[in-house]
Amino acid sequence: MDNFTPGGLAHAFLQGMIDELHGFLKALESEGAKKFSRLIGSGNALRTNPVLCAKAEATFGLPLTLGEYAEEAAVGAALCAAVGSGAVTSFGEAGAYL
């Protein structure tokens, strides 16, 4: 009862998130995917939480690089809408806007 603290619970929750992602990577590698050499993250969960970033780097054994731009999901949705509406002809062209 003495070691169940809000801080410990928060750390365990964050580690659980990273462990789930790491499990996906291990499954890909076991199916023959090449070994990854970089860890690229996106989203405000990583962008605003250095503890989560440190746990990701430690678990994956790779340095974490965050995307250059914030609000990645909103930018992706806007580019997808541009392609869907015909304002941009392809996803390849949409990528040039980044």
Strands (E), 19-93: 39-41, 64-66
Q: Could you give the angle at the alpha carbon of 22 between the alpha carbons of 17 and 24, nearest 5°?
A: 105
- Other CB atoms within 10 A of residue 56 CB: 22
The first and second tokens of residue 11, run together, are 């750390």
Per-residue pLDDT tens over the stretch 10-56:
999 999 999 999 999 999 888 988 888 889 998 889 999 999 999 99
Short-list 13, 6, 27, CA closest to 55: 13
Average the pLDDT over 68-83 and give the result. 89
Distance in angstroms (rounded) separating the CA atoms of residues 57 and 77: 28
**Is pLDDT at 2 greater than 90 in this prediction?**
no
pLDDT at 68: 81
